[in-house]
Amino acid sequence: MEVFTRWHDWDTARADITASGAPVDVDALDTAVAAARRWHGDQKRPTGAPYVEHLLEALEVLVCGAEVTTPAVLSATILHDVVEDTPATLPDVEAEFGPEAAELVDWVTKPPAPGAGRQAKRASKAAYLRRLGDAPAEAIQVKLADRVSNVQTLDRMPTDFQRRYYAETLTYIVPLAAAHPWFKAWYATWSARFAHLR
């Protein structure tokens, strides 16, 4: 199973993209990474790593794995959590990155749960994941890359979380990959690798 964890910082990612010759607008990504750093600030991943590493992993998945070069998709990938996890709003994203990137961020932004309880949060998340079935292909690419970053090292997470997240990924995310050949193949390999969690 291919793992995407090389791009821990934007300098490495930028150098790799430039060296690859891929037709990627690195200047647009410079701007997106700067905005993500500004909005996410000192947020950390559960591992304690800077949050930007997750965003760069998702970008690495798209550029190096799925070979996506569409500017709005790549910018939205870097920005996909800013509305959900920071004070940034969709109008902020649209003002800096245009309506297409903002629409993609909107599709992948999980709305706040209406209630405070665990059940309400789970129901809200399930509704959000089901709604992604109606999303445009570009938004689905962003979500698929986001989830690859989150599940590629699933074995490093607590066991009870592993089982829940594996089941959620099989139920809601893997079907989204069906129309995207690279992601379909990656998730098939991933689901086999973690089949013991069924």
30 is catalytic: no
Question: Closest Cα partner for 67 from 183, 148, 178, 175?
Answer: 183
pLDDT band at 150 (very low <50, low <70, confident <90, very high): very high
pLDDT at 93: 98
The percent of residues above 90 in pLDDT, for the chain, comes to 86
Q: Between residues 190 and 157, which one has the greater pLDDT?
A: 190
In the predicted structure, residue 159 carries a pLDDT above the cut 70: yes
The domain spans of the chain are 10-197
pLDDT at 16: 97
pLDDT at 186: 98
60 is catalytic: no
pLDDT band at 80 (very low <50, low <70, confident <90, very high): very high
What span, in angstroms and rounded, lies between the C-alpha atoms of 109 and 125?
10
pLDDT, averaged across the chain: 95
What span, in angstroms and rounded, lies between the C-alpha atoms of 28 and 85?
22
Supply 79's token pair: 């920005």
pLDDT in tens, 166-186: 999 999 999 999 999 999 999
Tell me which architecture the domain covering 10-197 has in CATH.
Answer: Orthogonal Bundle (1.10)
Which residue type sits at 126?
Answer: A
pLDDT at 197: 94
What span, in angstroms and rounded, lies between the C-alpha atoms of 91 and 83?
10
Active-site choice (25, 85, 96, 100) = 85
Q: Between residues 102 and 125, which one has the greater pLDDT?
A: 102
What is the CA 101 to chain-centroid distance, rounded? 14
In the predicted structure, residue 120 carries a pLDDT above the cut 90: no
Least confident stretch, 22-31, 78-87, 123-132, 134-143: 123-132
- What's the rounded mean pLDDT across residues 3-15? 96
pLDDT band at 48 (very low <50, low <70, confident <90, very high): confident
Using CA atoms, how far residue 75 sits from 36, 148, 192, in Å, is 10, 17, 31
pLDDT at 115: 67
pLDDT at 117: 81
Active-site choice (30, 67, 84, 155) = 84
- What's the rounded mean pLDDT across residues 110-138? 88
What span, in angstroms and rounded, lies between the C-alpha atoms of 186 and 136?
20
